[in-house]
Homo-oligomer: A and B are copies of this chain.
Amino acid sequence: MRKGKGRISRSTIGRLPLYLRCLAQLSSQKVWVVSSEELGRLAGTNAAQVRKDLSYLGEFGTRGVGYDVGKLTSHLSKTLGLNRKRYTVVVGVGNLGSALLKYKGFRKKGFEIVAAFDKEPGKIGKRVGGVAISDINQIEQALKGKRVDVGVITTPASVAQAVADQLVAAKVPAILNFAPVSINVPKQVSVRQVDLSVELQILSFYLNRM
C-alpha cells in the first residue's frame, strides 16, 4: 500500500499535516511549484528535514525544479487518510466542548461531528452547533452500528477514564483527549493528548531562564 521506502517515522507523521497546511496556502496563492527550502521555511523547519520526510512517501519532487504543489497535496492527503470523511463524536459539552461543536473548521477538513454527549440533564436534548446532545451514559447504545472514527473527550479529568472505556466499548478506534489526565486504552486504540495546562507549564519553565 505505502509507496515509499521504510516505515514512516512518528515525528515525520507529526509534520505531514503542517506541510499540507502550507501547501494549501501556496495553492490559494496560485503557486504551483515549491522547493524544499521554501516549504521548510513556511512549515517552521528546514529543507533537509522536508526532503527526508517527503522521501518516505516516494519520489515526488523533480530535481532542479522542486515539488508540484497539487501532486504533493494529493499524496499527503492520501497518506493521512484525508480522502475520506471522518466521523467524530464529542463527549463533554462544557466550555471547550461547546467551542469545538460550534467551530466550523473541522467539517471543512473532513472531520464531521455526528454526536455529542453530556452528563447534565439540562443539556441533554438541546443542540449546540447543530449537534444534538445525548446522555453520556448512553454512548455505547447511541453509537451501536454507527461508524465513528474519532472520539473527542472534553470532560473533567474525573470522568475521562470512564468515558474512554465507553468509547472503547463502542469500538471507537481513535481518541483525542483534552482532559488533564492520561487515559489507559487497549494498544490498538490511538490516543492523542492535548493538555493546555501542560503547555502553559512548559512555557513557564522557559520563562525562568531568559
Contact = CB atoms under 8 A, between A and B. Distances in A.
Interface string A167-210: 00000011110001110100010101011111111111111101
Contact-size category for A: 35 or more
Nearest to A105: B197
B205 A13 contact: yes
B202 A192 contact: yes
Contacts of A124: none
Interface stretch (A48-56, A64-72, A80-88, A133-141): A80-88
B102 A95 contact: yes
A3 interface: no
Helix, strand, loop or mixed for chain A's interface?
A: helix
A47 interface: no
Given A44-B182, A207-B173, A20 B201 contact: yes
Q: Give the number of times this chain occurs in the complex, counting copies.
A: 2
Q: Which of A14, A149, A205 has the most CB of B within 10 A?
A: A205
Interface in A121-180: 149-150, 173-176, 180
A197 B95 contact: no
Given A95-B99, A95-B103, A176-B200, A79 B150 contact: no
Interface string A100-120: 101101100101000000000
Q: Which of A42, A192, A194, A204 has the most CB of B within 10 A?
A: A204
Contacts of A86: 200, 204, 207
Nearest to A14: B202
A188 B207 CA distance: 10
Interface string A30-70: 00000000000011100000000000000000000000000
A26 interface: no
Nearest to A7: B209
Interface of A: 13-14, 16-18, 20-21, 42-44, 79-82, 86, 88, 95-96, 98-100, 102-103, 105-106, 109, 111, 149-150, 173-176, 180-182, 184, 188, 190, 192, 194-208, 210
